[in-house]
Structure 1
Amino acid sequence: MIVCIGAGPGDTGYLTQRGAQLIREADVVAGFDAVLDVVRALIPAGATVINMNYRDQVAQLDNVALEHHAGKRCAVVLMGDIHFSGFQYLERVERACGHPVESLPGISSAQILASRARVCFDETTFITFHRRGDLAPFKRHLVHVLQDGRNAIVIPCPWDEARSFMPWHIAAYLMEQGISPDHPTEVWENLTRGEAEWHGTLAECAGHRCSDMSIMLVRTLAPMASQIEPAP
């Protein structure tokens, strides 16, 4: 068995019961250090723990694959929901194993933000820049989302300074593309712990600095009216 598990946005209270069960039953538990710290209490005492980071993830996933092919029960744990911002990692796991692997969705920070900010996903588009490769198509998509009158939930790119696309970069880019500076904008940090919650305009966001553990909401200028039946 090998399964990729979405562990929620940094709090075991948002880990699914099935995910917790699979971690408790695993012979091998693998993941980035910060993610393993979240689920540490669930890892069996006799399990092999394979820690990794951005630089050594490919080599360490090869080690996970060796354990899997040796018949071990392997759980690879990712933050959030695999299919929201961890899909490239899932691809790396499958490349190491040589075949498709099972994945178990988790709760993402985007879902938590939608709940806290009271926005509907039918009227909102989620975009993540927390990925490797060319960000240009995703940047253009974000512009089109706002031009279409939808809300945008955005996970920034926090890597090296040359590549970073943090909320202040995103705000500046959007205004350069002709998006109104008046869009109501929110930045939430360490969402499940409620450490920081910033509200302002897109123009003000261009001057707001925040940590890597951030998620951004840019609201439409023309919210859709409710379509439920009129009150009696």
Structure 2
Amino acid sequence: MIVCIGAGPGDLGYLTRRGGELVQQADVVAGFDAVVDLVRPLIRADAEVITMGYKDQTAKLADVAVHHHAGKRCVVVFMGDIHFSGFQYLERVEAACGHPVETLPGISSAQVLASRGKVCFDETTFVTFHRRGDLAPFQRHLVHVLQDGRNAIVIPRPWDFMPKDVAAYLLAQGVNPAHEVEVWERLTTAEATWRGTLAECTAEFSDMSILLIRSLVPMPSQLDDLPR
């Protein structure tokens, strides 16, 4: 058995009950250092722990695959939810194993931000830049999202497309500088918030940041019984 688990945005209380059970039952628990540290209180004393970083992830996942093919119960933990911004890592796990693997969703920082910001996803589009490769298609998509009058929840790319870079790109594309922006850091742990406009978003933020860019005009309610 090998399962990829979304471990939540940073507070162990946001790990699902099923995710916690699978970690506790695992013979091998693997993942990036910070994510493994999050679930470490649940790992059995006799389980093997395999931590990795960006540079050695391919080699370490190959080690996980060896245990998997030997019949060990293996869990690979992801920060947040796998399908919000961990899909490239999932592809690496499957490449190492040589077959598709089971996934268990978690709570993403995007979902927590929607709760903090009181926005719903049917009026909001999620865009992640936390990926390797060409960002241009996703950048253009973000412009269209705002032009369509929707809110945007955005995960930046830590090494070269942070909140101030997102704002600068949008302004260069003619997006209205009056859009209200919120930048949240370290959601569910040591939370910090910045609020301003797109034009004012020029500060430096940590790599644990996520943005909410609000539409210029909120969508009207669909309820017929609201007072007018």
Secondary structure at the aligned position of 1:77 is classed as strand
Distance 2:189 2:171 in 1: 31
> Is the aligned partner of 1:182 residue 2:178?
yes
How do 1:33-112 residues align onto structure 2 when only pairs under 5 Å count? 33-112=33-112
| Offset of residue 229 of structure 1 | 2.5
Distance 1:231 1:213 in 2: 39
Distance 2:216 2:190 in 1: 26
Distance 2:189 2:10 in 1: 9
Distance 2:190 2:119 in 1: 18
* Equivalent position of 2:7 in the other structure: 7
* Equivalent position of 1:214 in the other structure: 209
Distance 1:26 1:188 in 2: 33
Secondary structure at the aligned position of 2:220 is classed as coil
After the TM superposition, list the runs of 4 or more consecutive aligned residues in structure 1 that deviate by more than 6 angstroms.
Answer: none
Distance 2:9 2:138 in 1: 22
Q: CA RMSD in A?
A: 0.8
Distance 1:220 1:86 in 2: 27
> Is the aligned partner of 1:200 residue 2:196?
yes
Distance 2:49 2:72 in 1: 12
* Equivalent position of 2:137 in the other structure: 137
Comparing 77-86 and 222-231, the one that deviates more: 222-231
Distance 1:77 1:212 in 2: 19
Distance 2:223 2:81 in 1: 30
Secondary structure at the aligned position of 2:76 is classed as strand
Q: Deviations over 1:189-232 (max 9, x none)?
A: 00112531110000001x22111100001000011011113247
Secondary structure at the aligned position of 1:192 is classed as coil
Distance 2:217 2:18 in 1: 40
Distance 1:231 1:221 in 2: 22
Distance 1:47 1:199 in 2: 44
Aligned residues with identical type, % of pairs = 73
Match of 1:229 among 218, 224, 228: 224
Distance 1:211 1:99 in 2: 36
How do 1:163-174 residues align onto structure 2 when only pairs under 5 Å count? 164-174=160-170
Q: Deviations over 1:96-152 (max 9, x none)?
A: 000000000000000000000000100000000000111110000000100111000
Counterpart of 1:11, as a letter, is D
Q: Give 5+ residue unaligned stretches, structure 2.
A: none
Counterpart of 1:181, as a letter, is P
Secondary structure at the aligned position of 2:67 is classed as helix
